Amino acid sequence: MTELAEQITRMGQAAREASRVLAKASPASKSTALKAIAEAIDGHRSHLVAANYKDLELGQAKGLATPLLDRLVLDDSTIDRMIQSIQEVDALADPIGRLEQTSIRPSGISVGRMRVPLGVIGIIYESRPNVTVDASILCLKTGNAVILRGGSEALSSNQALVQCIHRALAKADLPETSVQLIATSDRAAVGHLIRLSDYLDLLVPRGGRGLIERINSEATVPVIKHLDGVCHLYIDRSADFDKAIALAVNSKVEKLAVCCALETLLLDSITAKYILPVLAKAYAKHSIELRGCDRACEILPEIKAATDEDWYQEYLGPILAVKVVDDLDAAIRHINHYGSMHTDSIVAENQASVWRFLREVDSASVMANASTQFADGFEFGLGAEIGISTDKLHARGPVGLEGLTSAKFVVFGQGHTRDRSQTS
């Protein structure tokens, strides 16, 4: 084993040990730790900003693109938002140890489910240092130990944040190894982490397609995947036109580069001719390039024709694919075929259409008369999110506290024995 592999293995062992302590930690001690993290971050603002400055300088020297540098910045307002996140997660009910669905069975035993931590979670992420805090507090609240692997471009910032977290853990009498940061820019570390199946119960990769694909093919640890967000808005023939236009514009332009931004607009053929010309003007104001199907191009001869590839595209930028479809059925078929099962919305007044869309579109988040831009853990009431799952198993959509726990069966008897000749 290389020195690095040994180091990652030791981190795994330490995390496993810490997870045993965290699993039985009281809600009070976890809350003490969360409050202490907020205090430590608040009390070390200048230290955090200085560490971040080092990352920014290095990033500029390396020629990082401006959007990447922007996401890297730690300033008073991003620090305020971190502290707000911590307070919100602290205010959520502690899920661990909660007994649910308990009932007495014909045999006389009581059977229920208990929420418990998963154990040890690994997170792989890029740039934004706030993920360091979000991931740590969600894992802590759910009694999980966490191993963080942030991007090398944010190493100093992440180290400074983890120092704050360690101070807070010590204050709450919880092991510092509850939160560990892999503090090397050696990319081989990721390779070791994703094969640490003896010590890791879940891996959450947050990053580009390249990272996800590498993890898909190499990881032996269970993974919650976050793939593309090829999000759709479908304007039904029963739509309120004003709502439809407001939602179509907001879903696209509120933020262009987020995974819940609109990428393909679908319109019912009966109303397309009324709505599309108005919409085209609205999009033009935001410099959005439209790429249309044949029928869309008939209504808007000035726009570019879309190719089949456009229906699969996550542009994350000022381009929008537009397709006119026969009806609701065709819209649902299109989304289930070309979409990425992330977030899709319908604009409709007809309740039958709304419910068919909500039931039949096979995506993590389905919406009616709401902007796709709402699809995140904060807006959904999870306090924060550790990622957005486009998988179907375990966790779908924004992953908050619940996705970091599992439910085991709990049985209470009073000396009950089983006699199969009686029961079956």
Q: What residues from 104 to 123 belong to the interface with a copy of itself (CB under 8 A)? A: 105, 107, 109, 111, 114, 116, 118-119
Nearest CB to a copy of itself, comparing residues 314 and 391: 391
How far is the C-alpha of 52 from the C-alpha of 46, rounded, in Å? 10
The residue among 133, 18, 186 whose CA lies nearest residue 385 is 133
Token duo for residue 264: 């393909």
- Rounded to a whole number of angstroms, the minimum distance from the CB of residue 28 to a copy of itself is 16
Site stretch for a copy of itself (CB under 8 A), options 34-42, 230-238, 269-277, 369-377 = 369-377
Nearest CB to a copy of itself, comparing residues 99 and 305: 99
- Rounded to a whole number of angstroms, the minimum distance from the CB of residue 397 to a copy of itself is 4
Strand, coil or helix: 88: helix
**Residue 369 interacts with a copy of itself (CB under 8 A): yes or no:** yes
- Rounded to a whole number of angstroms, the minimum distance from the CB of residue 287 to a copy of itself is 19
**Residue 67 interacts with a copy of itself (CB under 8 A): yes or no:** no
The residue among 290, 379, 318, 310 whose CA lies nearest residue 343 is 379
- State which of residues 4, 5, 23, 83 lies at the interface with a copy of itself (CB under 8 A): 23
Q: For 146, how many CA atoms within 13 A lie in the half-sphere containing its CB?
A: 30
**Residues within window 198-227 making contact with a copy of itself, judged by CB under 8 A:** 201-202, 222
The residue among 168, 219, 180 whose CA lies nearest residue 30 is 168
What count of residues does the chain have?
424
DSSP 63: T
**Residue 420 interacts with a copy of itself (CB under 8 A): yes or no:** yes
Site stretch for a copy of itself (CB under 8 A), options 63-71, 273-281, 295-303, 361-369 = 361-369
Nearest CB to a copy of itself, comparing residues 334 and 396: 396
- Rounded to a whole number of angstroms, the minimum distance from the CB of residue 69 to a copy of itself is 20
Token duo for residue 247: 């939602």
- Rounded to a whole number of angstroms, the minimum distance from the CB of residue 177 to a copy of itself is 18
What single string gives the DSSP state of each residue in 195-220? T-TTT-SEEEE-S-HHHHHHHHHH--
The residue among 393, 366, 407 whose CA lies nearest residue 225 is 393
The residue among 277, 317, 273 whose CA lies nearest residue 295 is 273
Nearest CB to a copy of itself, comparing residues 168 and 347: 347
Nearest CB to a copy of itself, comparing residues 317 and 381: 381
Element (H, E) at 267: strand 262-268
In the chain, the amino acid numbered 314 is: E
Site stretch for a copy of itself (CB under 8 A), options 167-175, 178-186, 188-196, 368-376 = 368-376
- State which of residues 64, 290, 370, 401 lies at the interface with a copy of itself (CB under 8 A): 370
In degrees, rounded to 5, the angle at the alpha carbon of residue 193 between the alpha carbons of residues 187 and 194 is 100
Token duo for residue 304: 């570019």
- State which of residues 10, 209, 255, 286 lies at the interface with a copy of itself (CB under 8 A): 255
Strand, coil or helix: 75: coil
Nearest CB to a copy of itself, comparing residues 10 and 24: 24
Residues 69-85: b if buried by 16+ CB within 10 A, e if exposed:
bebbbbeeebbeebbeb
Token duo for residue 380: 């959904």
**Residue 416 interacts with a copy of itself (CB under 8 A): yes or no:** yes
- Rounded to a whole number of angstroms, the minimum distance from the CB of residue 24 to a copy of itself is 6
Site string for a copy of itself, 276-295 (x = CB under 8 A): --------------------
Site string for a copy of itself, 71-110 (x = CB under 8 A): ----------x---------------x-----x-x-x-x-
